[in-house]
Amino acid sequence: MPTVFERHFRERGEFKNLEFGLHRIQAALDSLGISDNIAKNVIHLAGTNGKGSTALFIEQILRHRGHSTALFTSPHIHTIRERIRLNGQNISPSDFDRVTSDLIPVIDRHMLTYFEALTLIAFKVFSDAQPDTAIIETGLGGRLDSTNVLNKKLPVITSISIDHTEYLGTDIFGIADEKLAIIKDNPLFFLGRNTEEITSYIYNKLADKQIIRPDYSDGQYMGFGIPYSNNLRLAESVCGHITAGGMPSDLKLPMCRMERFGQFILEGAHNEAGLAILAERFRGKNPTAIFSCTRDRDFQKLYNILSGVCGKIVVTQIPDNDRSIDITTLNPSLFMTKSPEEALKLAVELSENADILVCGSLYLCAYIREILTKGNV
């Protein structure tokens, strides 16, 4: 059953023509008396790749060390309630509906977008709960992301690469500047693994800040391979700044990040940098792939990255997504089907029992995950 939030935005529609800016969400939060007081400690993450796994690692480590936590992430896989968590649990349906109902007048008065409204709800939930630490992930960019109303915080910058070019442009240093804007006046921040070019740029640009950067490597760490091994190193460093303690032995990745169901591996890597790392991981293993992406991405470039390591690639469309590629515009010699269900069957036939890698879109991974969890293959 759809939540009150989903029903409201379906009926009202998104305010698609609003300019990016923090004035709407700031005014809404001010009306509720909410500022940086959403938790005793606030960790704020921005970056192109690695935010979700780093945030979830931080949550698990801090909970293992006895801290109460709040977590705000995006997108979700199966339920919108995944985006707002307290102490490792999704917000309950009743609590989510109750808080949304209470805040709908504020959401409408300030004409908040979908993501701004979710930010408002999350910050209200966290402000009421007062956890030891709130872990907040930016949705897009950083400078004008609705989460960047936060001022006093521990900023975390994960890996930076070119993505969302329609919003952030194609200049890698300009994209970096958008992410780095979450740091504000805070004296220190944590830096994830980046190229030497980006790392040098950041050190030069922010020479007046204390930059904490763990030792990164291509080796495994606590059972995780790259990039997640380095995201875990980053998360451990952030947590060590807040509280000392051991590491949990049962750390988990978010759904659809190197998640295995039999011969299927779901990996939400969806941009050039993410797929390049994924390809290296599978080099020499000759998996079959089920792949799709959105129209704003360079399909051929992403396809070529995968074709260097995959035996066969089945291209499909992202269901119920207006931004999906249209396979009728692609080279007809490719293995293609509009239906992800048919793509699954074709991939099984082509795979000869090799691993089947589902990638290119978190939305595609989520859709196929639903099929796999119901055993409908």
For 67-112, what is each residue's pLDDT tens digit?
A: 999 999 999 999 999 999 999 999 999 999 999 999 999 999 999 9
Quote the pLDDT of residue 141: 87
Query: Do 286 and 220 belong together in one domain?
Result: no
Are residues 64 and 198 both part of a single domain?
A: yes
Instruction: Indicate the average pLDDT of the chain.
Output: 94
Q: What is the pLDDT of residues 247-295, one digit of tens each?
A: 999 999 999 999 999 999 999 998 999 999 999 999 999 999 999 999 9
Decide which of 210, 242, 274 is a domain's last residue: 242
The pTM of the whole model exceeds 0.75 = yes
Residues 233 and 263 in one domain: no
Which of these three, 216, 242, 268, is where a domain ends? 242
Would the pLDDT of 17 be above 60? no
Residues 214 and 330 in one domain: no
Per-residue pLDDT at 215 exceeds 80: yes
Question: What pLDDT digit, counting tens, does each position of 146-160 carry?
Answer: 999 999 999 999 999
| Residue range(s) defining the domain that contains residue 179 | 4-242
344 with 298, same domain? yes
**Phi/psi of residue 239, nearest 5 degrees:** -65, -35
Q: E strands within 99-232?
A: 133-137, 154-157, 188-191, 210-212
Residues 285 and 190 in one domain: no
Pairing mode, strands 69-72 and 84-86 = antiparallel
The answer to whether 76 touches 118, Cβ cutoff 8 Å, is no
pLDDT of residue 111: 94
Kindly report which listed range (55-59, 123-127, 319-323, 335-339) carries the lowest average pLDDT score. Answer: 319-323
Here the CATH number for the domain that contains residue 331 is 3.90.190.20
Do 90 and 180 belong to one domain?
A: yes
Same domain, 164 and 83: yes
Provide the pLDDT for residue 1. Answer: 85
Residue 309 φ then ψ, to 5°: -130, -15
Q: Considering the domain boundaries, does residue 184 fall inside one?
A: yes
The CATH number given to whatever domain includes residue 34 is 3.40.1190.10
pLDDT in tens, 169-199: 578 999 999 999 999 999 999 999 999 999 9
- 289 CB neighbour count, 10 Å cutoff: 29
Tokens of 134: 């709130």
Same domain, 105 and 192: yes
Q: What is the pLDDT of residue 12?
A: 78
Q: Which of 215, 242, 269 is the last residue of a domain?
A: 242
Residue 355 and residue 285: Cα distance in Å, rounded? Answer: 8
Number of domains in the chain: 2
Predicted confidence band at 16 (pLDDT cuts at 50, 70, 90)? low
Q: Is the pLDDT of residue 364 over 80?
A: yes
